[in-house]
Structure 1
């Protein structure tokens, strides 16, 4: 399904593209505690500096919350972090930052509980994005399978499925490389358009054909 008028992160784009609803709730989404509220994103730590666990001085992000909860374990990751790209994930730095944040909140919650709270917020953001393109358009998501992709997708897939009442999740072996894999398999084509202000009559046919021929040569 294609869309010709899309809004992404508040920016309106008039160009033909797949109808995809995006949400800023990835592994790099920065965690904020403001005025007594938890917030994940929409700003992102990106790949550089990345989350705090990447050893590049980055802020706490959703990835760090999963590190704090033990869902991401350094021994299962290559030692490619830090300035020299030769160190493991920095669990100690993550624990220190969450401990400091828990102390700032000051309501008795443990660092683990704070991390869990941020993960819950991120999951709700993801679930609401799915509802916007499904439930709000008349689809019953409980009858579908949740297709999980992205480097951080597997960390949240079951929680998102639970939030939506879905009973099955598909995690493809290439799910972490879906964008690159997909563009490698995609066919290349061009879509061009141009307005022609003329009455829709037989007399306009030559002008329409001329414009079509012109667009095909571009």
Structure 2
């Protein structure tokens, strides 16, 4: 099956922030959308979003939080949790840091995590990233794109109007696929071409019914029929396209 080699890193708006007694840690755990960051008013943990909030990088946000979905982000809650974390850090290290200094430290770590992930697929393979454009996406992408670009020495950032909803938008545009299979486990020469045609016709009819039940359009339904064959005494199957006569 064709696929892309994509390198990912656990650093995003929902990445959980914590101090392990010696250093700041960002992720890999994520608060996700539910409960989400501490500022979402759902009892979530400190996250990258909370750090950006108390640093003043999220000045405008719709009032969609709280029990009645009519409250803004809870910056007071985020600030209090950073104050609590500041006390933990001071007890462990003897050094006092303000909530803003701590938040900035976490953001720097998140930025470097993102930049290092890009370096792994570019600089380490001989590409000069300064010659490329950094494509920014994700709800929190715009909050970090410039810092990541600076870290990599990149001069251009591409921010698409739909960057914040890229995953949802992509799913909406993606082709809907349905895979149906049938195990025969018999010698290929015992099957006639007509028998195979009949089997595929039945599977295609059932598949079409399922797709129409999940989608309102059938104008572009395409079928692909494949037989997986293996030599007698082997375990590796070879995919062969089954074509009409």
User: Which TM bucket (shorter chain)?
Assistant: 0.7 to 0.9
Is the 2:17–2:25 contact (alpha carbons within 8 Å) kept by the matching residues of 1?
Answer: yes
Q: State whether structure 2 residue 29 is matched by structure 1 residue 43.
A: yes
What is residue 72 of structure 1 aligned with on the other side? 58
Q: CA deviation at 1:193?
A: 8.4
Of 156, 162, 167, 2:144 maps to 156
Give the number of equivalent residue pairs. Answer: 190
What is residue 155 of structure 2 aligned with on the other side? 167
Is the 2:55–2:104 contact (alpha carbons within 8 Å) kept by the matching residues of 1?
Answer: yes
Give TM-score, length-normalised by structure 1.
0.79
**Residues 195, 37 of structure 1: CA spacing in aligned structure 2 closer, same or farther, 3 A cutoff?**
farther
Of 36, 40, 54, 1:54 maps to 40
State the distance in 2 between where 1:136 and 1:197 align: 41
The DSSP-based 3-state class of the residue aligned with 1:43 is: strand
Gaps of 5+ in 2: 180-223
State the distance in 2 between where 1:87 and 1:24 align: 29
What is residue 196 of structure 1 aligned with on the other side? 230
Query: Which residues in structure 2 correspond to 1:99-138 (within 5 Å)?
Result: 99-106=83-90, 107-138=95-126
The DSSP-based 3-state class of the residue aligned with 1:80 is: coil
What is residue 18 of structure 1 aligned with on the other side? 4
Q: CA deviation at 1:194?
A: 4.5
Cα deviation per residue 1:151-187 (whole Å; 9 max; x = unaligned)?
0000000000011110111111111111222233334
Q: How well do the aligned residues superpose, as a CA RMSD in angstroms?
A: 2.4
Query: Which residues in structure 2 correspond to 1:170-189 (within 5 Å)?
Result: 170-188=158-176
Q: CA deviation at 1:82?
A: 1.6
Of stretches 83-92 and 118-127 in structure 1, the one that deviates more from structure 2 is 83-92
The DSSP-based 3-state class of the residue aligned with 2:28 is: strand
State the distance in 2 between where 1:126 and 1:111 align: 23
- Between Structure 1 and Structure 2, whose CA radius of gyration is higher? 2
What is residue 214 of structure 2 aligned with on the other side? none
State the distance in 2 between where 1:23 and 1:182 align: 20
Q: CA deviation at 1:78?
A: 1.1
State the distance in 1 between where 2:121 and 2:64 align: 37
State the distance in 2 between where 1:23 and 1:41 align: 9
